[in-house]
Amino acid sequence: MKNQIKFLLVIASFLLSAQVIFAQSAETISLKQVPGEFEETTLTLEAGKAYVFEVSNAGVDHEVGFVVAPEGMTEQKNHIKNAYLTKTIEDGETATSKEVVLEKGEYVYFCPLNPTPQYKLVVK
């Protein structure tokens, strides 16, 4: 019985260590919205990697948001929901999205409230 308990403790310790080693922390992508546009006009990201989008409102006199969608499919039903900000943001505020993992392909990002042009987001 003692050997079984020791064995289970060793296995549990190994599993906890593996979780720490393989845990993936999301990379933060910071973007700034100014009146009518984002300052960052192109993004290239890595497929399968976790990202959090952090958006700042710098001088837009009303609330702004953030949308990521597949290129050519910008209708709301195609939006990447986890990329939405946790709240709309007023001038001087910053908000983040949930973690987003994108597949290889071409996307666009934009603000439907500002409104901004659609900017290219390439996932390789």
Cβ atoms of 74 and 118 closer than 8 Å:
yes
Question: CA-CA distance, 18 to 73, in Å (whole number)?
Answer: 39
Cβ atoms of 9 and 75 closer than 8 Å:
no
Question: CA-CA distance, 52 to 83, in Å (whole number)?
Answer: 8
Band of pLDDT at residue 13, cut at 50, 70 and 90: low
Question: CA-CA distance, 7 to 75, in Å (whole number)?
Answer: 54
All domains of the chain in start order, with CATH: 25-123 (2.60.40.420)
- pLDDT digits over 89-112, tens only? 999 999 999 999 999 999 999 999
Q: Is the pLDDT of residue 10 over 80?
A: no
Mean pLDDT on 5-19 = 47
